[in-house]
Amino acid sequence: MTKYRINKTRFVDQTKTVSFTFDGKKYHGFEGDTLASALLSNGIHLVGRSFKYHRPRGIMSCGSEEPNAICQINDNTDLTEPNVRATEIELYEGLKASSQNCWPSLNFDIGGINNLISPFIPAGFYYKTFMWPKSFWKKIYEPLIRLSAGLGKSPTKPDPDIYDHKHEHCDVLVIGGGISGIISAKIAAKNNLKTILIEDKNILGGSTIYQNNKNFIIDNQKSNEWLMNEISELEKLDNLIIKTRTSLAAFHSYNYLLAKENISDHLPLDKKNGSIRQRLWKIRADKVIVAAGAIERPLIFNNNDRPGIILANSVKKYLDFYGVSTGLNNIIFTNNDSAYETAVSLFEKGISVKIVDIRKKSSSNIVKNAEDLGIQIYWNSTVVNTFGYKKIKSIEIMNLSEDGSNVTGNKHEIQCDCLSISGGWTPMVHMHTQSGGKLDFREIDQVFVPSEKSENHINVGSCNGDFELEEIFKNTTIKVKKFLNINESSFDKISVLCSKELEKKNIWLLPNTISEGKTKSFIDFQNDSTAKDIKLALREGFKSIEHVKRYTTTGMATDQGKLSNMHALGIIADTAGVKMGTLGTTTFRPPFTPLTFGAIVGRSVGKFFDVVRKTSIHEWHVQNNAKFENVGQWKRPWYYPINNENLHEAVQRESKAARDSAGILDASTLGKIDIQGSDASEFLNRVYTNAWSKLGIGKCRYGLMLNEDGMVYDDGVTTRLGENHYLMTTTTGGASNVLSKLEDYLQTEWPELDVYLTSVTDHYSTASICGPNSRKILKKLFPNKDFSDETFPHMSYQDAIIDKIECRIMRISFTGELSYEINIESKYGKSLWENCIKAGEEYKITPYGTETMHLLRAEKGFIIVGQDTDGTMTPIDLQMDWIVSKKKYDFIGKRSLYRSDTIREDRKQLVGLLTDDPNEILEEGAQIVSELDKKPFEMIGHVTSSYFSPNLNKSIALAVVKGGKKMKGQKLFVPMENKNINVTVSDFIFLDKENKRINA
């Protein structure tokens, strides 16, 4: 056993040695230790350097509030994790921990120079200093600041761990496994309610589990012993799930809570393999009982951050839970009774201890206990300074003046190797406020406590402001019974005795003889903000707590100000002369403690990140070397390179083939909606801009759909299959939105219409064959069918049979070529496709992808919704007046087409652009200007589509330009980074304006 492991406890198994390294050096601890308790047992307090001044910092607490002891775990491996609190991580064999924010080493840190120049780097230093010269920011200041900023190092490789999500429902969820949580869970579970109890530590019991003082008696036993028995009884209850190592991350409305369970974080590396690391529980609870406990406050005095200064209750936990003494010559500095338990416990183990108390006296049992033992107490005193750079060596104390605002008398120096501090307790109201609850300020002990009574959750125990054992016990029992409508519990008649604190005193910033500007009284230990910084912020005019927080960064570190927020508020209130209750608090946002990204994402990584949709022909595309592009969730062939062709070469070849002979496109991804009902025609009349009533059965028509604001929303061809039966196609990406929009109108605006919509996108596969030889290929596929213009004209459809399978042939065209689309049940899609390829072989049928499709339609000036439109284009802007019915009384968006804004003549309008140099291809998205001399440039439009057309042997582009309709022939410019490109506004139909090819 080491010098500091002075006590045997039931929580640490001292027969099982565990070895670990810290900063490369090997140490030993025991099973049951945390990294912090194991380090302390080896006499190590110095574990890190502070963020800004690089001051040596030691372990300060024993839980999630820890601001200083944050480590890099398993550095230089895939599993490395930064900013892990040493006070929370359970020790395992082979754990490698290292300190952060120090260089070259923890013991000698160059950054420590910041501490010496600290008078020159107050709050807002960075904001104020690095303002000029402006040009220095990007090249000099920012890289330098980035080098010295930050705490740990992010992992650089993919996370090899597995994370999990799980949904859970229960009648009662109890948050916190301390004494009030245990009482609550037992009452609930004993009354046949499905109960879950979560606790972030590895065992239940909270701080009562190591409360072994004779002044705290439950049912004639010491409180810890009574609780131990309760826990073993609790574990026998059937309808109670106990989840240890599980911390609540978020408490959302309607009792929806997220909790993170550590499953293998505490296991040695060789035992972690393959198991889930962390699980995120998504819990929906009927009732929630918050028993989150309280966090001990530090005291704010000069140099209150030295290694060896630890919260008093944490000192007790290290002693009575882990068996580790944090020092052999202790001083306790307190403003309340709870620290006396620590003193008594230290004394009883033969460890030297003295007490400094800012109060004039305290007449409680526990204080009497300490006095009776002969522990020296300095009443009405405060610490004014501490000494010892890497470990505390001594302190100086002085008497407080009558009102506590100043110090009097002589300084008195006392030697020590550990200073335990206690500034009272702060209820953990985070959960309550996250759920929407409000807070009240309680003047007597200066705490915020939950106020509003919610029907669905209550707060019990110290998070509700009940600090004394007796009131915790009684109030919890009464509240839980009322909350759950229960008459009796096994706790009703149990007697509880405890020491009662009668004298209370709180001073947020303890007085000193040295002027404030020269003291270092830390409030936020992790972000290095001091009382001086807060006061500076107030002097500089920041009044709101939220502004002071951001200016000084108080409470903004990874510990989210669990130790610092109350003091910041207190000092603001005192300085500004206002009541603390009126200041309010900063907002408590989830998560309560940091969550790993892995836990948030769960299994949705890699191929589970998003749904991938593939057409039934996908395998053929893969085998034929297709490169794919993502269109929504669909994988669409982008182009089919042959012999190392690049995108441009492949597209030029595909485009030429489609116009010269035959091309084939997998068009299965287009959205398809089956529309039936006696009002189907009327419905189409209302949702499309053009008229539908007179469309003959067996005919197809192109339609444009607007939003109610008149802007183009979607387009596609709809086919009339029967009297009351249509098949609508939509854009690939717009399919689900269009269906939702149509459903919305049907259900809410026009419920009187007899129309039924069914999404059939996945039901049919579509092969689209185009080009002058397409008719011959179709004839080979369907020898019995007459494909002449007379019997099968453009924009019509016919049923057909191929290989005994029914299919539909639509003669429609998105390329301007003679073109047929064959729709067949999806399961036959690949076979149909292969038949088409085979039949087209003699015409060198060429499969083409989306890029070629885009090029071919651009040659014809056909728009793509979402590429040439952006939600601000009306059909008039697109020069598609022809499709807007003048006769129809109404359709979606009609009225908006003549609002004052939509009839403006200087709206951006679709035009064609030709570059003066026919080989120059414009960049899509490039801005267009009319005057090069005028600066700044007035941007009058932008390029929406741009290609090199192999069929025209020149560059072509579509663009939207302000007032473009009237600019045909005008010279414009596209300024690029290193040149200006001269362009001429042209017609946007570049090829076959007479539509001859469609009937070729």
* Cβ nearer to another protein, comparing 900 with 978: 900
Query: Do residues 767 and 809 make contact, with C-beta atoms less than 8 angstroms apart?
Result: no
User: Which residue, 351, 293, 295, is CA-closest to 323?
Assistant: 351
* CA 210 distance to own-chain centroid: 37
Please tell me whether residue 604 adopts helix, strand or coil conformation.
coil
Stretch that binds another protein, among 129-137, 302-310, 748-756, 799-807 (CB under 8 A): 748-756
* Cβ nearer to another protein, comparing 403 with 890: 890
The nearest distance, CB 686 to another protein, in angstroms, is 10
Please tell me whether residue 85 adopts helix, strand or coil conformation.
strand
User: How many residues in the shown chain lie near another protein by CB under 8 A?
Assistant: 22
The nearest distance, CB 562 to another protein, in angstroms, is 26
d(C-alpha 548, C-alpha 529), whole Å: 11
d(C-alpha 989, C-alpha 936), whole Å: 32
Stretch that binds another protein, among 47-55, 182-190, 741-749, 791-799 (CB under 8 A): 741-749
The nearest distance, CB 196 to another protein, in angstroms, is 18
Binds another protein by CB under 8 A, chosen from 577, 889, 935, 996: 889
* Cβ nearer to another protein, comparing 663 with 710: 710
- Asked if 611 touches another protein (CB under 8 A), the answer is no
Binds another protein by CB under 8 A, chosen from 518, 899, 968, 993: 899
User: Which residue, 241, 142, 251, 164, is CA-closest to 199?
Assistant: 241
- Asked if 871 touches another protein (CB under 8 A), the answer is no
d(C-alpha 65, C-alpha 50), whole Å: 16
Stretch that binds another protein, among 518-526, 844-852, 894-902, 952-960 (CB under 8 A): 894-902
List alpha helices for 587-662, DSSP H: 597-601, 618-623, 647-660
- Asked if 886 touches another protein (CB under 8 A), the answer is no
* Cβ nearer to another protein, comparing 256 with 379: 256
For 502-542, list the strands marked E by DSSP: 522-524, 529-530
* Cβ nearer to another protein, comparing 426 with 902: 902
Residue with tokens 């009382």: 531
* Cβ nearer to another protein, comparing 253 with 487: 253
* Cβ nearer to another protein, comparing 589 with 993: 589
Those residues with Cβ within 8 angstroms of residue 38's Cβ, 6 or more apart along the chain or in another chain:
18, 20, 27, 28, 29, 30, 91
- Asked if 748 touches another protein (CB under 8 A), the answer is yes
- Asked if 743 touches another protein (CB under 8 A), the answer is yes
* Cβ nearer to another protein, comparing 284 with 854: 284
Binds another protein by CB under 8 A, chosen from 233, 440, 540, 749: 749
d(C-alpha 596, C-alpha 84), whole Å: 11
- Asked if 709 touches another protein (CB under 8 A), the answer is yes
Q: Quote the DSSP letter at residue 154.
A: P
Identify any residues that bridge with 706 across adjacent strands, giving them in sequence order.
Answer: 712
Q: Which residues ranging from 245 to 274 are in contact with another protein (CB under 8 A)?
A: 252-254, 256
Is the Cα dihedral 24, 29, 34, 36 positive or negative? Answer: negative
Structure-derived torsion over alpha carbons of residues 428, 431, 433, 435, reported in degrees to the nearest 10: -170
The nearest distance, CB 166 to another protein, in angstroms, is 15
- Asked if 214 touches another protein (CB under 8 A), the answer is no
Query: Do residues 881 and 700 make contact, with C-beta atoms less than 8 angstroms apart?
Result: no
Q: Following DSSP, what letter does each residue of 3-14 receive, concatenated?
A: TTB----SSSEE
Binds another protein by CB under 8 A, chosen from 238, 402, 403, 890: 890
Binds another protein by CB under 8 A, chosen from 894, 954, 962, 965: 894
> Torsion-angle region of residue 962: left (phi > 0), alpha (psi -120 to 50) or beta?
beta
CB neighbour class for 925 (10 Å; exposed up to 12, middle 13-18, buried from 19): exposed
Is the Cα dihedral 832, 834, 838, 840 positive or negative? Answer: positive
Binds another protein by CB under 8 A, chosen from 747, 784, 788, 978: 747
The nearest distance, CB 259 to another protein, in angstroms, is 14
Q: Determine the residue type at 110.
A: I
Stretch that binds another protein, among 477-485, 521-529, 737-745, 854-862 (CB under 8 A): 737-745
Percent helix, strand, coil in the chain (nearest 5)? 25, 30, 45
Stretch that binds another protein, among 322-330, 739-747, 817-825, 850-858 (CB under 8 A): 739-747
The nearest distance, CB 195 to another protein, in angstroms, is 20
Q: Determine the residue type at 601.
A: V
* Cβ nearer to another protein, comparing 454 with 982: 454
Residue with tokens 């005028």: 934
Q: Which residues ranging from 751 to 810 are in contact with another protein (CB under 8 A)?
A: 751
The nearest distance, CB 436 to another protein, in angstroms, is 6
The nearest distance, CB 754 to another protein, in angstroms, is 16
Spell out, one character per residue from 375 to 414, where the chain touches another protein: x when CB under 8 A holds, - when not: ----------------------------------------
Stretch that binds another protein, among 116-124, 138-146, 593-601, 890-898 (CB under 8 A): 890-898
Q: Quote the DSSP letter at residue 830.
A: H
Spell out, one character per residue from 499 to 538, where the chain touches another protein: x when CB under 8 A holds, - when not: ----------------------------------------
Stretch that binds another protein, among 80-88, 360-368, 555-563, 746-754 (CB under 8 A): 746-754
The nearest distance, CB 693 to another protein, in angstroms, is 19
CB neighbour class for 564 (10 Å; exposed up to 12, middle 13-18, buried from 19): buried
The nearest distance, CB 712 to another protein, in angstroms, is 16
- Asked if 436 touches another protein (CB under 8 A), the answer is yes
Binds another protein by CB under 8 A, chosen from 625, 737, 879, 896: 896
- Asked if 284 touches another protein (CB under 8 A), the answer is yes
Joined together, the tokens standing for residue 898 give 């003549």
Q: How many angstroms separate the first and last alpha carbons of the chain?
A: 96
Stretch that binds another protein, among 90-98, 695-703, 742-750, 860-868 (CB under 8 A): 742-750
Q: Following DSSP, what letter does each residue of 216-273 receive, concatenated?
A: -EETTEEHHHHHHHHHHHHTT-TTEEEE-SEEEEEEETTTEEEEEEESSTTS-HHHHT
Q: Contact positions toward another protein, by CB under 8 A?
A: 252-254, 256, 284, 436, 708-709, 740, 743-744, 747-749, 751, 889-890, 894-896, 899-900
